[in-house]
Amino acid sequence: MGRRIVSSHESADTPHSSNASRQSRSTSAASSSVSTGNTTGRKISSSKERRNTGETNTGMTRTRTARAVASHTVTADGDTVRHGFVDARRMPSEDALAATLNETAGALGLPVRPKIVDFDARLKERRRAGRRVLALRITAIIASLVAICALAWLLFLSPVFRLETSQISVTGGNAWVSRDDILAIADKQSGKSLFLVSSKDVVTQLQNIPGVTEAQVSKKFPKSLSVSVKAQQPAAMLKTASSGLVAVDDQGRILNTVGDASTEGIPVIEVKDVTRSLDNKAIQEALKVLGSLSSSMRGSITKVTAATQDSITTELNGGEHVVVWGDSSDLELKKAIVDKILSDPNVIGDKTQVDVSAPSRPIIK
């Protein structure tokens, strides 16, 4: 009764179960051992692979200096996505501080006003700048005008360059063209600035005096004028219908050509052509006769005719007396006879013509 009764099922399975248990533990131990060995082997293999991989990567890095390794992946939309890396040593440096300073600092490194974004403020600033520019331009124009006016006053109106009569010097006057005659012409320019004095006008007026062969006018700053004249008394004036009056000496040389100058005291000979008449024997003889006469008689001559070289005739005082000179021979004797006859009323009487072409037998009629 006290014996433990074991069921058939329990007693039957117990030994088998124990064996199975022992086998299972053995198998587990073996498996664990195998597993441990495999794990150890894998660890060793992994370590070797990592060393190999490191060496491989080191070699690749050394051979591809700073070259980007990238892969390309094409998406469904056709876009290409790049993956990889870039050597940082090859990338440009970005200095944010320097960029900010460059944007906010001027050329000298000084801070400048920040950019204006507001449109109205910008428009006002432009208008102010425009007004400043306009004001500067107006100021510059006014200053220029003032400077020009001041310079014009100094050069043309101030007494610094004003010509005075006392500052006009004359040289070369003679009995025919006196110093007073020359000064009277030059004095027309007095009271003007030396910059406004017309030397050409003075020379033209001087050359319009019969017998003036040369005239020079020179300015001497700040306010002096020098006039030089060469002149001689003309023997006659040759008058033509086209060329005006030409002053000539007793040798038939042209002194000067004048316009409507006064011919007072100068005999006038009317000719058709000046150049041809100077080659004419009759004109040459007439010039010799006229050049030898006294100033008083020359001043009374109103007309000269020279039809031939031995028929030179002068008309005195508008036809009051007529003197027939013949040619230029014995001029001193002929002049003495004419002076004596004309100066004695008892000799000349009411006669008007004196012919001294043959001085030894003068004819009065």
Kindly state whether residue 91 falls inside one of the protein's structural domains. no
Domain ranges, residue 114 = 106-157
Residue 308 has pLDDT above 70, yes or no: yes
Mean pLDDT, the chain, integer: 78
Q: What is the CA radius of gyration of the chain?
A: 67
Residue 143 has pLDDT above 90, yes or no: yes
Task: Show the DSSP H helices in 153-198 as ranges.
Answer: 179-186
What was the pLDDT predicted at 313? 94
Residue 318 has pLDDT above 90, yes or no: no
Kindly state whether residue 70 falls inside one of the protein's structural domains. no
Residue 261 has pLDDT above 80, yes or no: no
Whether residue 330 is found in the same domain as residue 256? yes
- Give me the mean pLDDT over the 255-271 stretch: 84
Whether residue 243 is found in the same domain as residue 331? yes
Which of 364, 301, 359, 361 shows the shortest CA–CA distance to 331? 359
Residue at which a domain ends, from 142, 157, 172: 157
Comparing 112-121, 152-161, 255-264, which segment has the lowest mean pLDDT?
112-121
Contacts of 229 (CB under 8 A, 6+ apart): 170, 171, 172, 173, 177, 182, 206, 212, 214, 215, 216
Number of domains in the chain: 3
Residue 56 has pLDDT above 50, yes or no: no
Cα separations in angstroms, 110 against 100, 106, 304: 13, 5, 100
Whether residue 258 is found in the same domain as residue 357? yes
| Cα distance between residue 107 and residue 337, in whole Å | 108
Does the reported pTM lie above 0.85?
no
Whether residue 212 is found in the same domain as residue 171? yes
Q: How confident is the model at residue 121 (pLDDT cuts 50, 70, 90)?
A: confident
Comparing 45-59, 88-102, 137-151, 192-206, which segment has the lowest mean pLDDT?
45-59
Whether residue 181 is found in the same domain as residue 285? no
Whether residue 247 is found in the same domain as residue 214? no
Residue 134 has pLDDT above 70, yes or no: yes
Q: How confident is the model at residue 14 (pLDDT cuts 50, 70, 90)?
A: very low
What was the pLDDT predicted at 259? 76
Whether residue 190 is found in the same domain as residue 220? yes
- Give me the mean pLDDT over the 90-105 stretch: 64
- 72 forms beta bridges with 82
Whether residue 204 is found in the same domain as residue 124? no
Task: Answer with the residue of higher pLDDT: 65 or 111.
Answer: 111
Whether residue 340 is found in the same domain as residue 245? yes
Q: How confident is the model at residue 110 (pLDDT cuts 50, 70, 90)?
A: low
pLDDT for 223-237, tens place per residue? 999 999 999 989 999
Whether residue 219 is found in the same domain as residue 261? no
Q: How confident is the model at residue 176 (pLDDT cuts 50, 70, 90)?
A: confident
What was the pLDDT predicted at 168? 96
Q: How confident is the model at residue 122 (pLDDT cuts 50, 70, 90)?
A: confident
